[in-house]
Structures are given as C-alpha cells and as structure tokens.
Structure 1
Amino acid sequence: MTVNRRISVAPMMDWTDRHDRYFLRQISRHTLLYTEMVTTGAIIHGGVERHLRYNDAEHPIALQLGGSDPDDLARACEIANGYAYDEINLNCGCPSDRVQNGAFGACLMGTPDIVADCVKAMIGASDAPVTVKNRIGIDDQEDYPSLKRFTETVANAGCKTFIVHARKAWLNGLSPKENREVPPLKYELVYRLKQDFPELEILINGGIKTLDETEQHLEHVDGVMIGREAYQNPYILADVDRRFYGDDVKPLTRHQVVEAMIPYIEQHLTEENATIGHVTRHMLGLFQQMRGAKQWRRYLSENAHRKGAGTEVVREALALVPELDDEALSA
C-alpha cells in the first residue's frame, strides 16, 4: 500500500502514544500518525507488545525507531513486521540527552555514512517503506551543504522520503525544549532540498500552526508534518480530510469526538492498572478557544486520576461545554 504523507502528525515523546493516536483518528481519517520514538533496545530486550501494539483504527500509522546500529535496527524492523505498520521511520533529529548518550537521534546528522548503513539494513529487513526524519543540521555544520550531503548519502542507500525539521539542533548548550524553539526556522533550506532532489519525497516540519500555513508549504514540498499544534489544539485536524485529501465526509464535532472515545475508554479500563487519565490527558486541548474549554480542562485534570473514576467523569466534563451547531473548524 502506498502511504499518503501529505499531512502527518509528528512523533512526540510522552505525547503520541496509542491513546492519543486513537483520539486523533476520530478527528481525521487520513492524517498519517506516528508513534513516539521507540528505541531498538526497548523492542529487542523489552516488552514488545507494550511498545508496538496499537488499535487497527489508527491506520495509517508509522513506527519511529531510535538507534544507530544497523543490525539492531534490522532486528527491530523484523519484529515490527508482525505488527504491520504502514511505515518505519529512523529518528535522526531528536536532541535529548538520552539520545545523545546512545549516539543516535540528531547525533546521526554528523555521520551520514552510518545513517546510510542503517537505512540499508532497515530496508532489507522491513516489509514497510523506510523513511528518515532529520534536522537541517547540528551545531556548527554549514547549513545547506551539510544537509545536501546528508540527503544524498542516505538517498543513495535507498531512502526515498525525508521529513525535515527546519531547525538546527544544538547538541551543546540547549535543552531539548529550547531546541524546539530557539534555533531559527529556515524553511527555505527545505524548499531548496526539494528543488535539488525532485525525485525524492520531501516533507517539512517545525513551527507550523495553521492549515493555511500548511497549504503555503505544500506549494514547495510534498508533505507537511504538524507537531505541537496538533497536540495542543487537536481539532486543527478536523478540516484536513476535506482540504488536503478531497474527502467530503463531514468531520465529527468536538462533542461527537468525545462520545466516540467513551467506548474506547471503557475498554481501556478493563486493563490492569488503567485509569481514564491515561486517555483523557490527550483530550485536554480539544475545546481550545471554545467556550467552556477551561472548565473542560480543569474538570478532567482534577478528577481523571481519582480512585475508581470512570467514563462518567468525561460526561460530566463534557456537560460543562456548550454544544454549538456551528462548531467552527480550525483554519
């Protein structure tokens, strides 16, 4: 199956878990969703089911792997084949200390030959297409020449899709949070990459907050990956299917999205040590900029983790938000 990457939601640690992805799927049927980064060690030596399982409704879904050893990455891909992900993505952009200590993530921007070996091994082992997510550079690398060299080297190993976060990663001196905000966005470098490699699929990521911005980027690249905005204001995805996939099926209203989550939460509560907060923490931004949004967030935050809390908490929180017939789609 060909993966349509026109619009996707970025992999985000502690955010894009299986509960969040199921929730986002109620809002958009076509947006490509990514897992949190999962390290090869967690798959090979950890609880495979815990790290790789998902609900079939989440398709299309991509698994993002973290690692720098070709053999380990190939083994992780072989294991992931049993879960039928639509894509396997190699993380070459995360700047966290944990990633740096493991010599993967954004560190790999400095070693394109190693990334090429990793990609080659992954392609040989994976049933799904293999892609790379990277930054425009790290530290004192010259901007475009290094990015072009990295792309060319990895493309020669067989990678045809690159998702480029249009910021450098400063591995020394900036925290992971600062690395998402401080280095300037240089969208023009990603546009130039597409011009120089028209045969490759180039997606852009970083600081994109509206669907109007998304449309503007699509004049220059093949796809747009939305990150924090899709988490903090998830209903931004409600008009994606119509605007970017030609799907005229009317999206669920915000209230209907909540109702659609009730059976899922009830099922989740049958699992050991489950709480409704595992799911509802991802739903706090659903009514962003709507009347009752603050009450919704507060009620869920204060009551989701109380002992014995069930879906009645979600319904009580929903009753605090007026239901509008003309719920505006986020632009």
Structure 2
Amino acid sequence: MSHIIPVRKGEEINKEKLEAYLRKNFKDLPDSPLEIRQFGTGASNLTYALNIGNWEAVLRRAPMGPVAPKAHDMKREHQFLSVLAEHFPLAPRPFLFCEDDSIVGKPFILMEKKEGILIDTDFPEEIEPTPALGKRISEMMVDMLVNLHSVPYKGTILEKMTKPEGFLQRQVHGWIARFERVKTEDLPELERLKTWLVHHIPTSPEPAIIHYDYKLNNALFSEDLSKMTGLLDWEMATVGDPLADLGAAMSYWQEPDDPPELKAGFGKPSVTTLAGFYTRKEFVKSYSRKSGRDVEHFPFYLSFGYFKLAGICQQIYYRYKNGQTNDHRFARYGEFAKSLVRYSWLTAFQSERGKL
C-alpha cells in the first residue's frame, strides 16, 4: 500500500509497551523486532502500519489531545467492522479492541492490513491515466457504494448500536452545534446556511449501512486497477440515510470546473478532475439507476455534505490553532472550512433557483 511514511514527530507510540502487548495477545509471533510506520493520508484518527517479521496489522487510535464528544470511538468502529467483515469483504477484518490507554496513549483497534494501490492526487508513475480508466474507476466507486448500501444490518449488533429513525435531523442539528463549538471567526453565510439546512430537511429513504467518509483516497485497488481491494476508515460508519452517504461522498468528489479553493483545499486537486472521471451529476445518476433510489432532493444532501466537511475541517483546525496537534498540514484547514461553508451556501442558493 502506498502513502506509508516514517512516524511523524509528536505522534510516536511506545514501541516497547506495544510489542509486549502484541506478544501477550498474539501467539507464535516471529522473533523479529516490531516495526512501526504511519499512514501519511488522513487527518482524523492516527493510523499505523505494524510489522513483526511477516506478521502485519494496522493500528488505529484517536488523535493527540482532546477530541470532540463521541468522536474517534474505537470500540464502535471495531464492532462495525466485526459485522461488515462477514458481508462486505472490502472492509478490513478487526483483530481486537484495546481500551487500555496506557499502551499507545489512547484506546485502539488492531485490524487486517488490506493490500492495494491508493489513488489520491496522482496515479502511480507506471500507470498512464486515460479517459477510459477514469470512467472505470468512477463506475467501481458507484458500484461499491450501492453494494454497501445493500448489506443487511437487521438482526446484528448494529441494530442496537444505531438509531436510523431521525438520523438526518440529528445530523443537521448536530453538525451545526459542532461547528459553533469550534468556530474561530464569524462567517457571513453561516447563519443563512444553518437556517436553510434546518428548514429543508427531506424525508429519508429506507436506512442502510453507510460509510459516511466514502472517498477515493479511502479506497484501495488492484495493481491493474481492475477492481477494488479495500475500503478504509470506518470511523463514521453507521446505519442511516444512504443519500447522506452519497452527499458526503460527492462533497469530496472534485470536477475540473470547480473553483480553485475547492480543488486545492487539501493540497493538490484529486485525480477525479482528470478526463474520463464522472462529474458529480453523472455519479449521482449512475447511483440512482443502480440502487433504485430517488435523488430528487440530492441538492440538499450535497449542500449538507459540504457543510459537514466544513465542520470536520474546522474541528481539525481548532485543534491545530489551540496547539493540540503540530501537524502543519492543518494550518490551512481554517480557510478551507470557510470556502466549504461558502460553497455549501452556494449549492443551497442555486438549488432554490433550479440550477442544480
């Protein structure tokens, strides 16, 4: 898997304690020393690649410093993966959950390491991007989202863990409250946007298991890019409105004509801006056709998707601004959050005038 880097300064974990814990909980580990590296992508949970000889695992834990209430719940993610591993082979199999924060500083989960190519802002050097390849990757992303939304959850622990009834209302009000808690300045569009979102909540379709952070750089592909081999980062997964999942996915999905502040918010533009990749409209149309779900109210879901992403970025920027993380990638997240609020309002404004 690509994007594995040496552990960033300030995000180290105690190798001796972790190795002792692993040898206590896993039998017949090789005599080789524990090697720890870090996954360079992602801006929420800290994720590490572990190796002891030919034994491999992935460790996920919450970020440094205080975190938002109910966020970064490793036990919950472990329970979700335990159900998904039986029905959705792209999800990594969980090995164990450890709530003892003396081992690596926070509770953590250990899981299977999925192998594959991660695509984000560039293709691997040996792969020549073509319009046909862009279309194929787009369609695989659609198909896998449709497949996920068809995974059964009734009769599993997920039925007791989640509350799909009223999901969208709680999400809208919840993310408004979260944004207010971490707001670092007043934004002109924010009050109008909050009012619009609250007054335009549509009736949700039948609930489904949703990933809620579904994006290209959370997917893994085979070396020839003919199939998906993994789907990562299940922290936000729940049972809820599948169109909210689609809206969140499209808030990450970039098009060539998007404004520069939207395309460069996380750094370089995504490969989805290259020829052949679906537009958001094409993605949504394909999803609707394959899932059978009505997407009449999708402009609301897209506007809310941008607002939710703004809230995530603002939470991260708030931690950075208050010295709770020294990852300098996050210095620009405040400006990106403002851009996303503006774009969320623009999406709502245009939908009122039938332009979406």
Same fold (TM over 0.5): no
Give the TM-score of the pair, scaled to structure 1. 0.29
> What is the TM-score normalised by the length of structure 2?
0.28
